[in-house]
Chains A and B, each alone.
Chain A
Amino acid sequence: MHAPDGFINAPVSLGTGAVSASILAIALNKAKNELDEKAAPMAGLVAAYVFAAQMLNFPVALGTSGHLLGGALAAILIGPWTGMIAVSVVVILQALLFADGGLTALGFNVFNMGIITVFSGWFVFILLTKFLKGRSGIVIAAFIAALISVPVSAVSFVSQYAIGGTGTLDVLDVLVAMFSVHVLIGIGEGLITALTISAVLVLRPDLVFGARGKIKTELQIKESKVS
C-alpha cells in the first residue's frame, strides 16, 4: 500500500503531510509519558522489531505468503503513542532508504500505515477489553482489533484517493476492491497478532502494554497443599 510519487495530487500530499507531522508531534510528547526517558532506545528497538516482523513471511497457500503490517500489534505491545512512532519511523525509513513509497507521498503513507492502523487497532482493542476479560479476552480483542485496523486503513487510503488521487479508476470500484482484499489480509493480520500477543502473554505478561491492570502479573504467595 506504499503510494508512489504522483499517486496523489500536490494539495492532498501537502495536507496529509501537515496532518501526519502534527499527529507525530503529539505522539512524541505522549510517548515520553509512556516510556519516560527510555523513549529513544525503547521506541527505536521496537521500530527495529516492527521492521523485522514485517520481513517474517507467513506461508499462505500454493507458495504465496503474506506478511505482518504490525500497527495493532505495536499498539497493544507498547502503547498507542510509542507504537505509532515506531511504525511511522519504519514507514519514513522505508521511503528514505528503499524508495518504498514516494518522498512527496510520505505524509500520506505515514498517515494511512503508521497512524490510522495504530489508532483504529488501539481504539477497537480498548473498547473490546471493556467486555472481554482475562488472558483469552485480551487475545480475542487483539484478533478483532488487528483484523479491523487493516480494512480501516484501506478505507482511509481510498478516501484520500477520492479527494486527490490522480488515477482515473472509479472510486467505488477501488473502494470495493481495496476493502475486500484488505478484509482478507486483515484476517491473517488478526490471527498472527493474536497468536503473537498470546505468546508474549505466556512469557512476559508484564511487557504487554494493553494488558496492564487487566491480568494479574505480580508474584503471589500461595498456600501449599502439603503443609
Chain B
Amino acid sequence: MGTTQQHDIAGKLLIARHSVVHHLPAEVKLVAMLSFVFLVVLTPLGQWWAFGVYGLLIIAVIAAAKLPPVRVVKRMVIEVPFVIFAILMPFFSAGPYVEYFGLQLSEAGLIAGFGLLCKGTIGVLSSVTLAATTPMRDLLSGLTRLKVPTLLVEIAGFMVRYVDVIVDEMRRMKIARQSRGYFERGIRSWPVIARSAGALFIRAYERGERVHLAMLSRGYNGKLPSYSLAIATKAQWATGMLLPMGAAIILVLAWRMA
C-alpha cells in the first residue's frame, strides 16, 4: 500500500502543460477515464489485438497531453505488486499445461495473467494521465459536479490540503528522534514509533480543532462555499468522450470476433 508517495503531494502530481487534455474540465476527464477503463475490463481475453489498440489510444491521449514519457513510466512503478501476481499465475494454476523454454506453464494461467497485466497496465496509465493533467482543486470540484456527496468531497479536500502539513510534522518528529540517538532495531523500536504515531494523532486532531475554530471565526456554518468553475460545454464533453467511444467500437469488434 502507498509506499511511493512523496511529500508535497498536491504539487508534484500535476505535470503542468497547455494541452487539450489539461484544459478539459475535471468531470469530463473523470467520466471519460472511468468508462474507458470499464470498457477495457469488459473486453474478452484472447482478443489481444484489442488491448494493443486500447494501449495506443491511451498513449495517444498522453501524447496529446504532452506528458514526458519517462515521468509517466516512473509513476507506473505502483503496479509492480500485481505484475508479480500476474507472473505467478501461469506457474501455480491448474492444467492443461504447455511447455515454453523447458518450463511447465498452465495455459489458463498464462491467459489470465497476461490479461490482468494488459488491463491493469491500461488502468494505471489512465489514472496516471488523469492525475498528471488535473489540478487537485479541479479534481475535487469535478467530483462535486458528478454528484459525489459534498461532505465526502470536503473531507477529501481537507485531507489533501493538510496531508503535507501532517507529513512534515512526522518528518520533524523523525529528525527529533534521530537527534536523540534513535536508530531502528527491529521490533524493539516499535514502541518508539508507536509513541510517535500516538503523538502525531494528537497533533493532527488538535490541528483539526484549531482549523475548525479558525473556520468558525471566519463565518463557517457547516457548508463550504462551492468554488465551482464554468460548467463543461457540450463540445468539451464530445472531446472527452472520444476516448471511451473509440474503446466502445473496439469492444464491439472484440466481442464479435470472440
For B154, B163, B191, B211, the residue with the greatest tally of chain A CB atoms inside 10 Å of its CB is B163
Asked if B247 is at the interface of the complex by the 8 Å CB criterion, the answer is: no
Chain A residues with CB under 8 Å of B131's CB are: 96-99
| Cα-based distance from A203 to B187 in the complex (angstroms) | 23
Report if B126 contacts A (CB, 8 A).
yes
From B93, B162, B212, give the contact of A48 (CB < 8 A).
B162
| Count of chain A residues near B, Cβ 8 A | 77
Q: Are A58 and B190 in contact (CB under 8 A)?
A: yes
Contact of A85 among B109, B119, B155 (CB under 8 A): B155
Q: Does A176 contact B (CB under 8 A)?
A: no
Q: Is A6 an interface residue (CB 8 A)?
A: yes
Q: Which of B17-25, B63-71, B74-82 contacts A (4 or more CB under 8 A)?
A: B74-82
- In the complex, A129 Cα to B196 Cα: how many Å? 25
CB-based contact A5/B1 at 8 Å? no
Compute how far the CA of A44 lies from the CA of B165 in the bound complex, rounded to whole angstroms: 12
Residues 85-109 of A at the B interface (beta carbon under 8 Å): 85-86, 89-90, 92-100, 102-104
Determine the chain B residues whose CB is within 8 A of the CB of A49 once the complex forms.
166, 200-201, 204-205
Decide if A213 is an interface residue (CB 8 Å cutoff): no
B38 contacts A by Cβ under 8 Å: yes
Report which residue of A28, A59, A90, A170 has the largest number of chain B beta carbons within 10 angstroms of its beta carbon: A59
B200–A99 touching, CB < 8 Å: no
Which residues of chain B come closer than 8 Å to A204, judged between CB atoms? 202, 205
CB-nearest residue of chain B to A102: B123
Residue in A6, A44, A173 whose CB lies within 8 Å of B92: A173
Residue of B nearest to A105 (CB): B123
Taken residue by residue from 200 to 225, chain B's Cβ proximity to chain A (1 for < 8 Å, 0 otherwise) reads as: 11101101110110010000011010
Give Cα A191 to B186, complex, Å. Answer: 13
> B122 interface residue, CB < 8 Å from A?
yes
Cβ of B120 and Cβ of A6 under 8 Å apart? yes
A2, B156: Cβ atoms closer than 8 Å: no
Which residues of the partner chain B approach A56 to less than 8 Å between Cβ atoms?
Answer: 170, 193, 196-197, 200
A191 to chain B minimum Cβ distance, whole angstroms, is 6
User: Size of chain B's interface in residues, with CB distance under 8 A?
Assistant: 94
- Quote the shortest CB–CB distance from B34 to chain A (angstroms): 5
Could you say which of B13, B33, B111, B212 has the most chain A C-beta atoms within 10 Å of its C-beta? Answer: B212
**Do A10 and B163 form a contact, CB below 8 Å, given A170-B94, A191-B190?**
no
Whether the pair A199, B115 counts as a contact (CB closer than 8 A) is no
Contact of A98 among B5, B88, B94, B112 (CB under 8 A): B5
User: Nearest Cβ in chain B — how far from A12, in angstroms?
Assistant: 11
Q: What are the 10 A-B residue pairs with the smallest beta carbon separation, nearest first?
A: A44-B158, A6-B119, A199-B198, A5-B123, A195-B194, A45-B208, A99-B127, A4-B120, A47-B159, A49-B204
Hey, which bits of chain B sit against chain A, CB under 8 A? 1-5, 9, 13, 33-34, 37-38, 40-42, 45, 75-76, 78-79, 81-82, 85, 88-89, 92-94, 106, 108-109, 111-113, 115-116, 118-120, 122-124, 126-128, 130-131, 136, 139, 149, 151-152, 154-163, 165-167, 169-170, 184-187, 189-191, 193-202, 204-205, 207-209, 211-212, 215, 221-222, 224
A-side residues, CB < 8 A to B, are 1-7, 9-10, 13, 24-25, 28, 31-32, 37-49, 51-56, 58-61, 67-69, 77-78, 85-86, 89-90, 92-100, 102-104, 113, 166-170, 173, 191-192, 195-200, 203-204, 207
Q: List 22 A-B contacts (CB under 8 A).
A: A6-B40, A6-B41, A13-B38, A24-B152, A41-B212, A45-B158, A45-B204, A46-B205, A47-B159, A49-B204, A52-B166, A93-B156, A98-B2, A99-B78, A99-B131, A100-B1, A104-B37, A104-B123, A167-B89, A170-B94, A195-B194, A195-B198
